[in-house]
Structure 1
Amino acid sequence: MRYIVIGAGAVGGSIGGRLAQAGHDVVLVARGAHRDALREHGLRLVTPDGTRTHALPVVGGPDEIELRPDDVLLLAVKTQDSVAALDAWSLRAVGDSTAGESLPLICAQNGVEGERLALRRFRRVYGMCVWLPSSLVEPGVVAAPCTPYTGILNLGRYPAGADDTLRRIAADLEKSTLLAPVVPDVMRWKYAKLLANLANAVEAVAGPLVSPEARVLVDRARAEGTAVLDAAGIAYADEAEQEELRADRVDVVPLPGAPRGGGSSWQSLSRGTGSIESDYLNGEIVLLGRLHGVPTPVNETLQRLADSFADGHRPAGSMTLAEVAALLDAAG
C-alpha cells in the first residue's frame, strides 16, 4: 500500500516519517513554505531515537499525482480545512473509478466531525483517535517527542467495526514505532479524546496548563462536556481505559533543538494561520448541548474566545488565566 498523507504537518509528518522509516511507500501533501522546504530538503523528523531526514515525494494537491488502487489516504488537516481537502481528493480518478468510490480514507484528526464530512464523499471511511504529541518546529521540520512509541492511534471503521484493510494498515503502523490498536468502536475513543481536547482553547489563549488555576478552568470545560455527552447518550472511553492504554507507552522527553510547544490549537495561533479548530472541539459540545437542552456557557465562551484570537491574529498565550476565569464566571 502507498500512504498519501494529506496535511503533512505535526501529526501527518510524524506518521508519514515513521512509515517511511519502516520502508513503506509515502507521499506527503503540504502547502506553502512547508511544502517548499519538504521538496528541497526532505522531511526532518526529530524523535528521541535521533533525527532522520526522509526524501519523500511531495505534492501540493491531487492534480500533481496519479492515484493508484493500492493507495490509502490519510487525512491529517485540521477539521476546519476538511471540506476543501475532501472535495479536492474525492473526485480524482483511480482507474475507472474515483477516490471517493474506491480508496480508503482515514481521518487522523481531533474532534468527531471529520468522519461525517468524509462519509458524504468517501465510501470507505475510517476513524483514527490520535494520541501523538508533536509539533511543526519550522518548515520541513517536525518534532515527535514520545517514546517508546511515537504515538497511539486507535483505528476503526466509521461508524463502527473493522475489516482486513484496516488490519493491514494497523500492521504497517505497528512496524513504524506507532501503536495502532484496531477497535470496533473507534468513535467511543474519539469522544473521549474530544473531552481531553476541550482544554486546547484554554492553553491557546492563556498558555501552558501547569497551574492549579489552569486545571480548574479545564475541569469546568470537561465537566460541561461530560454532562452533554451523557445527556446525548454518547459513549466515551473512561479515564481508566485511557490510562491503561497510554501507560508507559508515550512518555514525552525533551528533544535537543526542538523545544516542546503547545497543543494543536496553540500551534495554530503561534503560526498565525487565521483559523483554529475550536468550532469542532468546544463547538461540538455547544452544538450537542443545544440539541439536548444542556447549557454550555463555559465551552461557548472558550469557543468564541479562541475564534476571536485566531481571527484577530492575537499571540498564543497572551491572556491571563484570571482574565479567562472572569469571562467564564460572567458567562454563568
Structure 2
Amino acid sequence: MRFVVYGAGAIGGVIGARLFQQGHDVTLIARGAHYEAIRDRGLRLETPDESLTLPVPVADRPAEVKFAGGDVVLLAMKTQDTAAALTELSAVAPPDVVIASAQNGVENERLALRRFPEVYGVCVLLPASFLEPGVVETYMAPVFGRLDVGRYPRGEDSTAVALAEAFTGAGFEAEVRPDVMRFKYGKLVTNLGNAVEAVIGPGEAGREIARMAREEGAACLRVAGIEAERGVTVLARARPVRGRDRLGGSTHQSLQRGTGTIEVDYLNGEIVLLGREHGVPTPVNELLRSLANRMAREGLSPGLMTAEEFLARLET
C-alpha cells in the first residue's frame, strides 16, 4: 500500500512524515516554496519530543506521480481546493485508486465520490501547524493524534482495516468506524470555533461566541436529522513544541500565512447552508463566515475585533 499525500501541509505533512518514518512507501504532493523546501532539504517534522528531517519523495502536481492500482491518495488540502485537486488527480490516476479524505468538513468525500468509487472518510483529531516551508509541527507525542476511518458514505471493509492499521503503526490512535461521517459531523461542530480564533483571536475571549456558534450548529443538525458524535476533540492533550504552544487552528494558520482563502465556507458555511435549507436561524455562523472571508481576501491578520465588538455587530 503506497500513500500519496495530496496536500502536505500541517495534517498531510505530519501523517505522511509518520507513515514514511515507519517504513511505508509515501509520496507527498506539495506546492510552491513548500515543495521546493521538501525537494531540496527534506521534510522537517517537529514534535514535543524530537526534531528530525525526513527525505520523503515529493512532487508538485499529480501528473508528476506514477500512480499504480491500489495506491491510497490521502487528501489533505483545504476544502475550497478539493474540486480543482480532484480534477487534476482524475486526469492521471487509475480509477481503482483509493481516496481517503483527511480533511475538515463533510463535503470532500461527496466531491471525491463523483470521480472515484473507492472513497473513505478519515476523522482527523491532530493538533498540527504549518507556518514555514518545509516544516510541519505536531503537538502530541508519543501518540500523535487520532485518525478514525470508514468507507464513505458508510460501512467498513478490508481497506478501512488496512488504513486503520497503518495509522496505528505510525503512532496514531485509529479505529474503523462504519459511521465515520457521524464523527466528521461531530468534528464539524468543534471546528465552528476556528473562525472565532480568526476573527477574535485564540484564547478565552471568544469562548462564548464559539459556544453560540456550536449551539447553532447542533440545532441545524438536529432539525436536518443528521447524527453527530459529541465532544470530538483532543486539544487538551497537546504539548508545546520548541517551547511554545500551538497558536491556533487551521483557519488561524491560513490567515497567518496569507493564503488569500480559508475553508470557512465549508465549516461555518455548512451550518449556514443547513440553516437556510431547514429554516433554522444561524446569525453567529453567518457573521463569522462573512468576516473571516473578508479577512482572507484583504490579507488581514487574526484578531479583527474584540468579542464585544462582534456581539455588537451581531445585534445590528
Structure 1 residue 280 and structure 2 residue 266: aligned?
yes
Structure 1 residues 82 and 24: CA distance shift in structure 2, 3 A? same
Contact 2:48 2:242 in 1 (8 A): no
- Deviation at residue 318 of structure 1 after TM alignment: 3.3
Residue in structure 1 matched with residue 19 of structure 2 by the alignment: 19
Residue in structure 1 matched with residue 51 of structure 2 by the alignment: 51
Aligned mates of 2:236, 2:37 — CA distance in 1: 28
- Deviation at residue 170 of structure 1 after TM alignment: 1.1
Give 3-state SS (helix, strand or coil) of 1:178's partner: coil
Contact 1:148 1:251 in 2 (8 A): no
Map 1:59-74 onto structure 2 (within 5 A): 59-74=59-74
Residue in structure 2 matched with residue 130 of structure 1 by the alignment: 124
Aligned mates of 2:137, 2:257 — CA distance in 1: 15
Aligned mates of 1:103, 1:82 — CA distance in 2: 16
Contact 1:11 1:132 in 2 (8 A): yes
Instruction: Tell me the matched-pair count.
Output: 316
Give 3-state SS (helix, strand or coil) of 2:141's partner: strand
1:215 aligns with one of 207, 210, 233: 207
Give 3-state SS (helix, strand or coil) of 1:196's partner: helix
Deviation readout 1:247-300 (Å, 9 max, x if unpaired): xx9721111166522100001111111101110000000101111111111111
2:107 aligns with one of 101, 113, 121: 113
Residue in structure 2 matched with residue 6 of structure 1 by the alignment: 6
Residue in structure 2 matched with residue 271 of structure 1 by the alignment: 257
- Deviation at residue 122 of structure 1 after TM alignment: 1.0
Question: Taking every aligned residue pair, what percent have the same amino acid on both sides?
Answer: 53
Unaligned runs of at least 5 residues, structure 2: none
Deviation readout 1:159-202 (Å, 9 max, x if unpaired): 00011011111111101111111111000000000000111111
Unaligned runs of at least 5 residues, structure 1: none
Q: Compare the two structures and name the one with the higher strand fraction.
A: 1
Q: Which stretch has the larger CA shift, 126-135 or 254-263? A: 254-263
Residue in structure 2 matched with residue 234 of structure 1 by the alignment: 226
Structure 1 residue 323 and structure 2 residue 309: aligned?
yes
2:185 aligns with one of 177, 186, 191: 191
- What TM-score do you get using the length of structure 1 for normalisation? 0.92
Aligned mates of 1:15, 1:184 — CA distance in 2: 22
Residue in structure 2 matched with residue 254 of structure 1 by the alignment: 240
2:221 maps to amino acid: L
- Deviation at residue 113 of structure 1 after TM alignment: 0.5
Aligned mates of 2:117, 2:91 — CA distance in 1: 12
- What TM-score do you get using the length of structure 2 for normalisation? 0.97
Aligned mates of 2:167, 2:24 — CA distance in 1: 10
RMSD: 1.4
